[in-house]
Structure 1
Amino acid sequence: MRRRLVISYLLLMVLVLLALETPLAATLATRETDRVRADRLADATRFASLAGPALRGGGPDPLDAELAAYDDLYGIGAAVVDRDRHTVAASARWTSGTRADAALDTALAGQQSSGPDSVWPWVDGPLVVAVPINDGGEVLGAVVTTTSAGKVRRTVTVWWLLLAGIGLLAVLACVSTAFGLAGWVLRPVTELDAVTHEIAEGHRTARVRPRLGPPELRRLAASFNNMADAVSDVMDRQRAFVAHASHQLRNPLTALRLRVEELGPSLADADGRAEHQLALEETDRLATVLDALLTLARAEREENQRVTVDAAGTAASRVAAWLPLARHRSVSLRLDAPEVPAYARTVPTAIDQALDALIDNAVKFSGAGGEVTVTVRPADGGGIVLQVRDTGPGMTVSQLDQATERFWRAPDVQNVDGAGLGLTIVAVLVDSSDGRLTMRRGEPRGLVAELWFPAPDEPAARGDVPDDAVGVAGPVDPAAAPA
């Protein structure tokens, strides 16, 4: 947009310069031509007064001497002709031509003639002046001078170059001023665009400086900041409400479950016990949803905090924690990680909760005899990659696009336990950590979920790594895990 504004200013400046300098350049060329033409007319008129006696019968010797001296001094060819167009006297540089003949015709008709009206740098040809020689109203002949227009063309060219230089300086000044003016006008827009992207990326505290640019844009910046404050406040209230509601609902839900559970012994028939068991399962499902909502709200509130975590140690501890469930479901769970710490910079508990959600899904959908592999490795371009690969049914391309939406579940797993918030929590934690979550179909089957987290700016100190993030890295043997 700045370039367009500058081009608009520049085009306007060029049009103004053309409107001003074109007539001025023509005026300068005409003025210089008129000055030289006036000198030649004065000289020709003097020769006409001297040529009268020669044409009335006197000898041409004095006239020849005058023309020769004039030619030697100024380099201008001159000639005197009678009414029959016979040359009476002429200088050495005198040459006849079409323009001279036309001027003679006009002079012999009793009128002065001079041409051209203006000398242009790109037009060749001499400057011709013809004056009639009169005697008592009778035209006896004419005096003609031919002046080379080279000097006039050079003078006009110098004037035009000077005008072009002034115009170029004006254009440069216009461009410089236009860039400054466009920058001043567009600086709030540029900052507004940058702040909008920052807010879209999760930096909700970013704001536009309201004292930049013209008053209209300053008001726009102030309105944008007010809107951003209002939206941020609404989001904070929403997250606080979700967190408080989830937390407050747990107590009555727990009491409800206890009461429902106590009703079990009083149910005598099999149908009643089955309905009782379904009621207990629904209360457990509701508790799972509340826990997931509470975790999601906490993850979104912690988006601006960063800690350094040993990703390899954290992965080892999470794999060890999930091994009993994996063994119970006949799923092989293993870890492939370096034996040295692999530090990453994330929001608190991001790697823990993300791995919990991914391993939970992988173990849940792999089925008996399935395999789940958690891999930790340095990324090629920097940072740390954690990969969870399973041998479950996987997801289609369209399902992968919807997998991180809140409460979304694949149509074919509606009967499997879950709240549909696990991958949403992972996406929020990864985005808050400036990381990336990518998921793709495994080969020949299954799902591959990769987490990338940035590395810390400096090697992490031991005190900067949370206690629950430090573990023994390396392959984990299911047989060595606690029951």
Structure 2
Amino acid sequence: MTRRIALSVLALITAVLVLAVVPLGLIMTQREQTSFRDDSAARARSIASAAEEYLSDRKRDAAARHLVQEAHGRGDCAAVYDRAGHVVLSTACSDVAGDDSARLVASVLADPGTRVRQDDQWLTTSVPIGDASDAVGVAVLSRSVDPLQDRILAMWGWLALIGVGGLGAAVLVAVLLARWVGRPLRVLDEAAQQLGEGALDVRAPAGAGPQEVRRLAATFNTMAARTEALVHGHRAVVADVSHQLRTPLAALRLRLDLLAADAEGDTAAELADAQGEIARLSRLVDGLLAVARAEHAVPRPGPVRVDRLVAERVAAWEPVAHTGRVRLTAECRPGLTAFLGEGDLEQVLDNLIANSLDAVQQGGRVLITGRRQGGTVRLRVVDNGPGMSRAARETSFRRFGNPEASGAGLGLAIVHRLVTANGGTADLLDSPGGGLTVALSLPASRRGRDRDGKPGSGDTRASDP
């Protein structure tokens, strides 16, 4: 954004400078040329006026000769021709017109009037001497255009210097303006990214940048403070509820165990049923608390070696699978890395493996696969159990949404909350040949960019070999 603002302001000021300097230079160039022509014509008329006294009134040629000598001193070429076209007075370089001098003089005598001719080196002005109807001669003044070109070049040089100076000032202003606007926005973006990654105490400075950016930073800080208060408050409620529910349940279970130790017959059976209900209630409370924690968790993603973690969880659940005569295996690409909150993937895998082992019958199989696809880690837990109906799959990620669940129906809800909180997705699919496949898409790189603009440190290969 800083670069775009700077380039936009610079382009605008450059356009203004070009539109202002170029027309001004053209106008001043035309004015210089016109002034040079008018001055040449005025000097030629002065020589013609002085020569008229000599040619018409037969006075001395001192005045005309003096003006011709002055022209010679300035580096100009001057000549005075009589009615017959003969040179009366001239400087050493009078023959500037060359072979065209005779035709030029003849044309002025035939049709009295000022003639101006310019080439690359000289500006020649021819003025008739005497009355317009009866010219007695011609005064010709040739001036070098080099001084004119030098003045025009100097003028354009100054204009270019002014333009470059203005452009330099524009660059400075554009950079300062871009930093003034862009820097607080960049800081605010970094603060928002940190808040999204779980740093609830982060705040953005609200005293820099334009007024709109300051108000945005203040609004962000208010939102962050309220989010922090809500999350901390919910965590406190979950902790209190956990303590307040588990303590009486544990006490009640202990009393039932004591009563069941001395009970017989129908009383023992009733107490056993009550103990089962207490155990079910305890599992339900634990599941609800786990869902609540997952729903309000704000993960701080970090690199997680998915292949190693899958291998660890498979090893941990292998005794349970062996007891149920279920084959539990994993096929993950080496070095597979995802960015997740600490402990989230362990909890997700434990819930999925537990659900699969409960659903698969003896001789069944549970397979966990993992691979990299673009910026996503594709993790699948595939079993060949009875599977789920389409209606059950559509509601299984809700709390108590699966009517076919054998337990509390909270495992998949916990999985869905943890995966989506980390920026991933979870889907339920039919396994080829029957069964259920849980397909997880996990972020394989950091969301956003580091301060230096480089991508996150995760693996950024397009796909696994």
Q: Which residue of 1 aligns with 2:404?
A: 415
1:130-145 mapped onto 2 (5 Å cutoff):
130-134=126-130, 140-145=136-141
Can you list the C-alpha shifts for 1:341-385, whole angstroms capped at 9, x where unaligned?
A: 99999766545423220101222333454211356x897999999
TM-score by length of 1: 0.63
CA contact (8 A) 1:308 1:345 kept: yes
Can you list the C-alpha shifts for 1:244-273, whole angstroms capped at 9, x where unaligned?
A: 3344234556778888x99x94899xxxx9
CA contact (8 A) 1:240 1:297 kept: no
Shift of 1:393: 5.8
Shift of 1:73: 8.1
Q: Secondary structure at the match of 2:405?
A: coil
Can you list the C-alpha shifts for 1:122-179, whole angstroms capped at 9, x where unaligned?
A: x979645344534799864542435454652453134224312431332233123212
Shift of 1:184: 1.1
1:447 matched to 2:442:
no
TM-score by length of 2: 0.65
1:244-263 mapped onto 2 (5 Å cutoff):
244-251=240-247
Q: Secondary structure at the match of 1:93?
A: helix
Q: Which residue of 2 aligns with 1:319?
A: 317
- Find the aligned partners of 1:240 and 1:297 in 2 and give their Cα distance: 12
Task: Specify which of 363, 376, 383 is matched with residue 357 of structure 2.
Answer: 363
Q: Percent identity?
A: 30
Can you list the C-alpha shifts for 1:44-76, whole angstroms capped at 9, x where unaligned?
A: 1343145325643979x9999997996898465
Q: Which residue of 2 aligns with 1:195?
A: 191
Aligned CA distance change for structure 1 residues 408 and 140 (closer, same or farther; 3 Å):
farther
Farther-moved stretch of structure 1 (23-32 vs 224-233): 23-32
CA contact (8 A) 2:123 2:143 kept: yes
Q: Give the letter aligned to residue 33 of structure 1.
A: Q
- Find the aligned partners of 2:236 and 2:441 in 1 and give their Cα distance: 27
- Higher relative contact order by CA 8 Å / sep ≥ 6: 1 or 2? 1
1:425 matched to 2:414:
yes
Q: Secondary structure at the match of 2:125?
A: strand
Aligned CA distance change for structure 1 residues 105 and 439 (closer, same or farther; 3 Å):
farther
- Find the aligned partners of 2:302 and 2:224 in 1 and give their Cα distance: 23
Task: Specify which of 347, 353, 356 is matched with residue 347 of structure 2.
Answer: 353
- Find the aligned partners of 1:401 and 1:207 in 2 and give their Cα distance: 39
- Find the aligned partners of 1:308 and 1:69 in 2 and give their Cα distance: 95
Aligned CA distance change for structure 1 residues 17 and 283 (closer, same or farther; 3 Å):
same
Aligned CA distance change for structure 1 residues 161 and 367 (closer, same or farther; 3 Å):
farther
Q: Secondary structure at the match of 2:404?
A: coil
CA contact (8 A) 1:314 1:351 kept: no
CA contact (8 A) 1:247 1:290 kept: no
Q: Secondary structure at the match of 2:356?
A: helix
Aligned CA distance change for structure 1 residues 34 and 373 (closer, same or farther; 3 Å):
closer
Aligned CA distance change for structure 1 residues 392 and 212 (closer, same or farther; 3 Å):
farther
1:58-69 mapped onto 2 (5 Å cutoff):
none
CA contact (8 A) 1:382 1:454 kept: yes
CA contact (8 A) 2:80 2:137 kept: no
Q: Give the letter aligned to residue 6 of structure 1.
A: A
Q: Which residue of 1 aligns with 2:457?
A: none
1:24-103 mapped onto 2 (5 Å cutoff):
24-26=24-26, 28-30=28-30, 32-33=32-33, 36-37=36-37, 39-41=39-41, 43-52=43-52, 55-56=55-56, 74=75, 76=77, 80=81, 82=83, 87-89=85-87, 91-94=94-97
Aligned CA distance change for structure 1 residues 332 and 345 (closer, same or farther; 3 Å):
same
Aligned CA distance change for structure 1 residues 141 and 343 (closer, same or farther; 3 Å):
closer
Aligned CA distance change for structure 1 residues 136 and 150 (closer, same or farther; 3 Å):
closer
Task: Specify which of 275, 286, 290 is matched with residue 285 of structure 2.
Answer: 290
Q: Give the letter aligned to residue 359 of structure 1.
A: I
Shift of 1:313: 6.8
- Find the aligned partners of 1:134 and 1:203 in 2 and give their Cα distance: 99
Farther-moved stretch of structure 1 (434-443 vs 23-32): 434-443
Farther-moved stretch of structure 1 (4-13 vs 301-310): 301-310
Structure 1 gaps, min length 5: 117-122, 456-483
1:373 matched to 2:367:
yes
- Find the aligned partners of 1:449 and 1:177 in 2 and give their Cα distance: 53
Can you list the C-alpha shifts for 1:391-445, whole angstroms capped at 9, x where unaligned?
A: 2466799998986x55274xxx52223444424434565678x796766755455
CA contact (8 A) 2:32 2:148 kept: yes
Q: What RMSD, in angstroms, separates the aligned Cα atoms of the two structures?
A: 5.7
Q: Which residue of 1 aligns with 2:224?
A: 228
Q: Secondary structure at the match of 1:133?
A: strand
Aligned CA distance change for structure 1 residues 367 and 206 (closer, same or farther; 3 Å):
farther
- Find the aligned partners of 1:156 and 1:398 in 2 and give their Cα distance: 87
CA contact (8 A) 1:127 1:149 kept: yes
Shift of 1:3: 4.6
Shift of 1:181: 1.2
Q: Give the letter aligned to residue 383 of structure 2.
A: D
Aligned CA distance change for structure 1 residues 290 and 52 (closer, same or farther; 3 Å):
same
Q: Which residue of 2 aligns with 1:333?
A: 328
CA contact (8 A) 2:116 2:125 kept: yes
Task: Specify which of 223, 233, 243 is matched with residue 237 of structure 1.
Answer: 233
CA contact (8 A) 1:392 1:447 kept: no
Q: Give the letter aligned to residue 314 of structure 1.
A: E
Q: Give the letter aligned to residue 95 of structure 2.
A: A
Aligned CA distance change for structure 1 residues 165 and 391 (closer, same or farther; 3 Å):
farther
Q: Secondary structure at the match of 2:241?
A: helix
1:84-163 mapped onto 2 (5 Å cutoff):
87-89=85-87, 91-94=94-97, 108=112, 127-134=123-130, 140-147=136-143, 149=145, 152-163=148-159
Aligned CA distance change for structure 1 residues 48 and 77 (closer, same or farther; 3 Å):
closer
- Find the aligned partners of 1:334 and 1:136 in 2 and give their Cα distance: 118
